[in-house]
Every structure is written in structure tokens, then in C-alpha cells.
């Protein structure tokens, strides 16, 4: 058989392999609530109570709002089929799908000036994190600045027909181990991370770009991973951090993506968003991360299959090659419920988690 047919066969076989969430998860409505939920946590420090609204969009995408400050991590709606990952095959976004599924309330046209999304943070540049960003920036989020690696900024600049310097006012390359000022009330710290291998220790679509690269972004492999980052967001009021949120967009090895001790000593983490996809391929994920971050509450994102799936499905299948039951058992053991309730939830795409810190 010709290699291309073997690859096609393999890809179709893999695509048909995804499973729904295990019944043990689906029947645990405390941790997999399958609706909007409100949770109360004990606030780390500070006099006033704070409410955070965390809306899970899809894949690594969350809309996060604290004290009226809104940021986004990129959702993914285009969902090309797995076959589009084959070498030499072109892959592209699907604006009709973004139009249909990106929530209306997040679009500039439906938000007052102060509530528009001002910043988008991307952890790494694979297409399931970055592909819908150029269209979102141009069509719905004209006030937003994109923060990401040089690889991510290089890709998005090219997709918008610009150089990095022409894109500079809206595309910021983050510096490792550095705080970035987003506004008077938000700063973000970029933490170098690693990417969980896909198969047999190998990460597909690897490599980096810099701003001198000018080639076309055409195939899945052109969406190079770049340096992955996790982020720590400090939402502030009166010069004090009132809410601290950790975000990652890939499972990572035990020694990466960790918050430095001196930053943790300043203030504890209220909420951490952690990734399930590929978790068993990363060393001690998420155990090592939980030991480091020690957040009051956790949300599990990037858990669902995105290869050509219907976004109308209320209960999507689990990401290819991910052992959801193993991850579930690890979390229930590592994060036992407290008297106040569960310490973690896995939201369905489209559901919101309101966190009240008081």
C-alpha cells in the first residue's frame, strides 16, 4: 500500500476512536456539573470579596472577568477534520463557525467600551489555540492585544498580512519570567512551560519562528508550537492583587510551568485552569503542578475532541489519546472535597463557573 493511503487509513481510524466522557465522570455532578455553577472559596487576602466569572468556550478558550476586567484565552471553533493534519494538506479557519459559536456578549459591538476584551493570552501556537485568533481580532475584538510567544506573534502577523513590527500595536511578544502590564488593574506573568508529547514521546508540529520568517502558514505543521507559556494573572484594585488566576493551555512535565516560590510567597492562587488533554504523556501532570500552585479551586479545560466534531454536541467526546478516567481518579485523590464543597470542576463547553471569594 502507498504510504499516503496508509496515513489516510490511520487518520480515519484514529478519528473514529474518541469516546464520550466515562460514565463515572458523567454521573459525578459535583465535579462534572453539566450546567453553570457558582462556587465559594475563601479569599486569599484582601478586605473585599471578589467575584470572578469564568466562561469555558472550547478547547483552551476561556473568557475571564474579574471586577469588570475581561480577558480571553483563545477558543477554537473551526475544527478541521484530523485528515487535515496530514503532510502537505492545507488547513484553514472557518469564519462561519466562529460567527456562529463565539458568544455574542463577548463581541465588541455588544459590550460597553470598558467591558470590551482588551487582551488575549495564548500559551502556545498550535492551530487548535491560534487558528481562530486572526479572525477574532479583525472581526469581533478590535480593542484586544494578543500576548504570546514570538512564534505565535509571527504566525498571526503573517495571517493578517503584516510584519511583526506592523502588528506591534496589537501583538506583544511575552518575555519569560516577567510581569507584563495589561492595564491599571491587570498584570500577567509568563512562565516557561513544556508541551505534553502526542505519541511515543513526540510532539507534532514542533519548532519555532521568529519575526524574520515570512513563509505562508498553510499546513498544520506550519502552526509551529513555539515556546509554550503558562500565565499567572493578577487582577488588582487599589494597587493590591484581589484575585490571582493561573492558566495553562497544555499539560506539561513536572518541572515546567511552575510558579516561582517568591511570587507564591506574596499571595496564594485563587483559581487554576489546568489541562486534561495528553495528561498521561506528561511527567507527573497535574500532580506536580497542583503541589506547586496549591490553588483554592481548579477548572479543567482542553479536555474535548476538536477534530471535525459538531459543536452542537452538548457532551463532546474526550480528546484523542486522553485517559479521562485516570485523570479523574488522580484529581479526586489529590483534591478531596472540603466541607465547603468540591475543589475542582470540569465544565462543558459553553458553561460558566462563577467563583465568589469571600
Identify which range of 37-45, 121-129, 145-153, 324-332 contacts Zn ion by CB under 5 A. 121-129
Task: Find the binding residues for Zn ion in span 208-267 (CB under 5 A).
Answer: none
Between 60 and 342, whose beta carbon lies closer to Zn ion? 60
Alpha carbon separation from 149 to 19, 73, 152, 183 (Å, rounded): 33, 14, 5, 20
Identify which range of 25-33, 45-53, 118-126, 139-147 contacts Zn ion by CB under 5 A. 118-126
> Taking CB positions, which residue lies at the least distance from Zn ion?
126
Sheet holding 271-275, edge to edge: 178-183, 186-192, 229-237, 240-247, 271-275, 297-301, 344-345
Q: Which residues contact 182 (CB under 8 A, 6 or more apart)?
A: 71, 118, 119, 145, 147, 188
- To the nearest whole angstrom, how small is the minimum distance from the Cβ of residue 90 to Zn ion? 19
Alpha carbon separation from 207 to 127, 134, 177, 202, 221 (Å, rounded): 13, 21, 21, 12, 9
128 binds Zn ion (CB under 5 A): yes
Identify which range of 45-53, 80-88, 125-133, 260-268 contacts Zn ion by CB under 5 A. 125-133
Task: Note whether 235 and 241 are within 8 A (CB).
Answer: yes
Size of the site for Zn ion (CB under 5 A): 2
126 binds Zn ion (CB under 5 A): yes
Between 257 and 342, whose beta carbon lies closer to Zn ion? 257
343 binds Zn ion (CB under 5 A): no
- To the nearest whole angstrom, how small is the minimum distance from the Cβ of residue 128 to Zn ion? 4
Task: Find the binding residues for Zn ion in span 26-45 (CB under 5 A).
Answer: none
Between 115 and 198, whose beta carbon lies closer to Zn ion? 198
Contacts 24+ apart (CB under 8 A), 204-210: 204/85, 205/126, 205/127, 207/151, 208/149, 208/150, 208/151, 209/150, 209/151, 209/154, 209/155, 210/150, 210/151, 210/154
Site string for Zn ion, 155-174 (x = CB under 5 A): --------------------
Identify which range of 120-128, 133-141, 265-273, 333-341 contacts Zn ion by CB under 5 A. 120-128
Between 126 and 244, whose beta carbon lies closer to Zn ion? 126
Between 234 and 305, whose beta carbon lies closer to Zn ion? 305
Identify the sign of the CA torsion 289, 290, 292, 297.
Answer: positive
What residue ranges bind Zn ion (CB under 5 A)? 126, 128
Amino acid at each position: 500500500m502507498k504510504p499516503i493511503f496508509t496515513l489516510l487509513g490511520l487518520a480515519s481510524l484514529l478519528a473514529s476512536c474518541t469516546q464520550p466522557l466515562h460514565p463515572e465522570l458523567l454521573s459525578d455532578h459535583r465535579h462534572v456539573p453539566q450546567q453553570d455553577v457558582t462556587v465559594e472559596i475563601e479569599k486569599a487576602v484582601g478586605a473585599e470579596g471578589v467575584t470572578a466569572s469564568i466562561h469555558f468556550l472550547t478547547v483552551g478558550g476561556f473568557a475571564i472577568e474579574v471586577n469588570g476586567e475581561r480577558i480571553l484565552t483563545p477558543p477554537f471553533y473551526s475544527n478541521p477534520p484530523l485528515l487535515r493534519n496530514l503532510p502537505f494538506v492545507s488547513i484553514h479557519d472557518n469564519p462561519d463557525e466562529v460567527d456562529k459559536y463565539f458568544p455574542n456578549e463577548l463581541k465588541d459591538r455588544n459590550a460597553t467600551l470598558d467591558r470590551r476584551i482588551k487582551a488575549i493570552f495564548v500559551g502556545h501556537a498550535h492551530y487548535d489555540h491560534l487558528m481562530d485568533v486572526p479572525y477574532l481580532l479583525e472581526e469581533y475584538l478590535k480593542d484586544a492585544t494578543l500576548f504570546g510567544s514570538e512564534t505565535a506573534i509571527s504566525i498571526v502577523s503573517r495571517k493578517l498580512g503584516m510584519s511583526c513590527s506592523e502588528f506591534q500595536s496589537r501583538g506583544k511578544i511575552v518575555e519569560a519570567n516577567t510581569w507584563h502590564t495589561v492595564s491599571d488593574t491587570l498584570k500577567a506573568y509568563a512562565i516557561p512551560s513544556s508541551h505534553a508529547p502526542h505519541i511515543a514521546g513526540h510532539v507534532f508540529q514542533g519548532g519555532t519562528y521568529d519575526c524574520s520568517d515570512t513563509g505562508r502558514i498553510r499546513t498544520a505543521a506550519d502552526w509551529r508550537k513555539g515556546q509554550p507559556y503558562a500565565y499567572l494573572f493578577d487582577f488588582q484594585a487599589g494597587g493590591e492583587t484581589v484575585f490571582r488566576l493561573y492558566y495553562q493551555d497544555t499539560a506539561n512535565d513536572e518541572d515546567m510551568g511552575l510558579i516561582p516560590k517568591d511570587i507564591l510567597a506574596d499571595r496564594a492562587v485563587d483559581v487554576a485552569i489546568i489541562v486534561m488533554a495528553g495528561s498521561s504523556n506528561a511527567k507527573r501532570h497535574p500532580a506536580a503542578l497542583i503541589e506547586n500552585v496549591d490553588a483554592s479551586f481548579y477548572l479543567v479545560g482542553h479536555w474535548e475532541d476538536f477534530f471535525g466534531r459538531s459543536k452542537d454536541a452538548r457532551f463532546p467526546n474526550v480528546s484523542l489519546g486522553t485517559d479521562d478516567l485516570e485523570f479523574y481518579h488522580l484529581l479526586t485523590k489529590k483534591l478531596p472535597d472540603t466541607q465547603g464543597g468540591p475543589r475542582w470542576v470540569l465544565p462543558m463547553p459553553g458553561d460558566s463557573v462563577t467563583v465568589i471569594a469571600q
